[in-house]
Structure 1
Amino acid sequence: MWIALEGVDTSGKSTQINLLKPLFTEAIFTCEPGGTPLGVQLRHAALHSALCAQTQFLLFLADRALHLEEVIKPNAHKLIFSDRSLISGLAYAPYSLKQAWELHRNTGIDCLPDMVLLLSLDLHTLKARLHAKNPDGIELKGVDFLMQVQTRLEQATTLLGVPTHTIDASKSVEQVHKMVLEKVHAHALCAV
Structure 2
Amino acid sequence: MATNNGLFISLEGIDGSGKSTQARQLAEWFRSLGRDPVLTREPGGAPGAEDIRRLLVEGDPNRWSPETEILLFTAARRDHLESTIRPALKAGRDVITDRFADSTRVYQGATRGDLRNIVDQIHATTIGVEPDLTLILDMDPAISLSRGLARGSGEDRFEEFGLPFQQALRRGFQDLAAAEPERCHLIDADADPDRVAARIRDVVQTRL
Q: Where does the alignment leave 5 or more consecutive residues of structure 2 unmatched? A: 1-6
Task: Find the residue that maps to 2:190 and give its secondary structure.
Answer: coil
Q: 1:130 to 1:83 in 2, by over 3 A?
A: closer
Q: What is the total number of aligned residue pairs between the two structures?
A: 187
User: Identity, % of aligned pairs?
Assistant: 29
Q: Distance in 1 between matches of 2:177 and 2:120?
A: 11
Task: Find the residue that maps to 2:51 and give its secondary structure.
Answer: helix
Q: Where does the alignment leave 5 or more consecutive residues of structure 1 unmatched? A: none
Amino acid of the residue matched to residue 13 of structure 2?
G
Q: Distance in 2 between matches of 1:36 and 1:173?
A: 28
Amino acid of the residue matched to residue 55 of structure 1?
T
Deviations 1:15-52 (A, max 9, x none): 11121232223111111111011111110111113422
Structure 1 contact 114–162 (Cα < 8 Å) conserved: no
Deviations 1:82-129 (A, max 9, x none): 1001111211114432221112223x2121001110000124423442
Q: Distance in 2 between matches of 1:123 and 1:137?
A: 16
Query: Greater shift after overlay, 129-138 or 169-178?
Result: 129-138
Q: 1:157 to 1:113 in 2, by over 3 A?
A: farther
User: Which residue is 2:96 aligned to?
Assistant: 81
Amino acid of the residue matched to residue 22 of structure 2?
Q
Amino acid of the residue matched to residue 64 of structure 1?
R
Q: 1:181 to 1:123 in 2, by over 3 A?
A: same
TM-score (norm 2): 0.81
Q: CA deviation at 1:58?
A: 1.7
User: Which residue is 1:18 aligned to?
Assistant: 24
User: Which residue is 1:110 aligned to?
Assistant: 128
